[in-house]
Amino acid sequence: MVPPDPHAGVLADFLAATAQPFSKLVLSKPRVAADDLVRVTVRPVTLKGEAQLSFVYTHRTRDITKNLRPADAPAALRTLLADTFANAHLWTDTAELQLLTSKKGRQTLLRHAAAHAAEPRAAHDREKHRYVDQQQPFLNALGVTNEQHQIVPAMARKWKQINKFVEVLDHALAGTALKQADAIDVVDFGSGKGYLTFATHDYLDRVLKRSVRVCGVESRPELVALDNRIAHETDRPKLSFVAGTIQDAALPALDILIALHACDTATDDAIARGIKADAALIVVAPCCQKEIRQQLHAAPVLAPALRHGIFQERQAEFATDALRALLLEWAGYDTKVFEFISTDHTAKNLMIAATKRPGLARGDEAANKIREFAAFYGITAQALARQLQFTF
């Protein structure tokens, strides 16, 4: 059956469906071929506890998302169906509705029983497994959440990074005896505003219920003062921050060393301090690998490519971090290198996690592999090797 006004029929069914679980509405077949708008996909979402409709405008080279209140959606849909798109396809739990427009302008509304259950509702606030409790006061004090413990939109990426880091830490701990240890000492070099330092303490203290001391080392005294105040106000007596650098900070015993985005050879300084302290776990995210770039003299077959600065930079990053991983293995650590978080969040997303293996010796075979690797790239000096007294 064709209703007198098929657009109104589709909108009526769509509006009725918004009160029930449904999957999506897709508007397609643009009337203006020259326009780069391909389709619009509409899904019900929940944003900050409020039901809304998410309109995703898919262009040939980009997507644009607009969230509308249900009361405002009918007018937007009516305009799109009248002026922009010829077809519409609506999925509900019980039916599929299709509005089809022929080349001559004839419109037909088709109804079918649902072939399968609707897709899960795309709620932005759906419950997910989190390693950090969003209700924790330190998150509000650091500006990650507001007074209602909702994530501040501008801090959404930081919130994801915090949870991802604690997830990485949890998995790394599984390969050590520390997860069952009664007491754990942690040092976070370059702690900055302390997002990950607080999260680390929270996870080890509140979730794993270990006796843990966490110390953040930061060169900026104003951040040290801020973090110490927040630690005091949120009742974390075994979380502290000290002013200093990786090289000169006086540290207690060290079980876990963290150094994220320490620039250039500062990462090597942190790794060296962790190795010399016999840390059970070393977690670093390198940044700005500049030291060996000028030394790079790779095999002649690579020379034409490395004349491009971007390739030389990426090759230097690879060679630097691969050498660090090899040196850690030579020093008795099992090493994993992986992407920390998506490059949508930061380009500096590589992480090295190294777990101490007491039985591993600094053998000649491991040393020879390092020397062969360094020789291939023409590397004759490197900060971590120098501090470990490793000779190429």
Give the per-residue pLDDT at 225: 96
Identify each DSSP E strand in the chain by its residue range: 22-30, 37-47, 50-59, 63-68, 85-92, 95-101, 107-113, 183-189, 211-218, 239-243, 256-263, 281-287, 333-339, 350-356
Second CATH level (architecture) for the domain 137-387: 3-Layer(aba) Sandwich (3.40)
Amino acid at 313: E
Q: What is the pLDDT of residue 125?
A: 43
| Furthest C-alpha separation in the chain | 85
At residue 252, the pLDDT reads 66
Stated as kind and residue range, the H or E segment containing 274 is helix 266-276
Backbone angles phi, psi at 107, to 5 degrees: -115, 140
* Distance (Å, whole) CA 122 – CA 259: 36
Q: What is the pLDDT along the chain (392 residues), one digit of tens a residue?
A: 444 444 455 556 655 655 565 677 888 888 876 467 888 988 887 777 788 888 888 877 677 888 888 888 888 888 888 788 888 888 777 778 787 777 776 777 787 776 544 444 444 444 455 789 999 999 999 999 998 889 998 898 899 999 999 999 999 998 888 878 889 999 999 999 999 999 999 999 999 989 999 999 999 999 999 999 999 999 999 999 999 988 888 876 799 999 998 888 999 999 999 999 999 999 999 988 888 888 888 778 888 887 888 888 888 899 999 999 999 999 999 999 988 764 444 445 789 999 998 776 678 889 999 999 999 988 999 999 999 999 99
Q: What is the pLDDT of residue 91?
A: 79
Domain parsing of the chain, residue ranges? 6-113, 137-387
8 Å CB contact between 68 and 52: yes
In this predicted model, what pLDDT tens digit does every residue of 153-172 receive, in sequence order?
889 889 999 999 999 999 99
Q: Residue 106 burial by CB count (10 A; 0-12/13-18/19+): exposed, middle or buried?
A: exposed
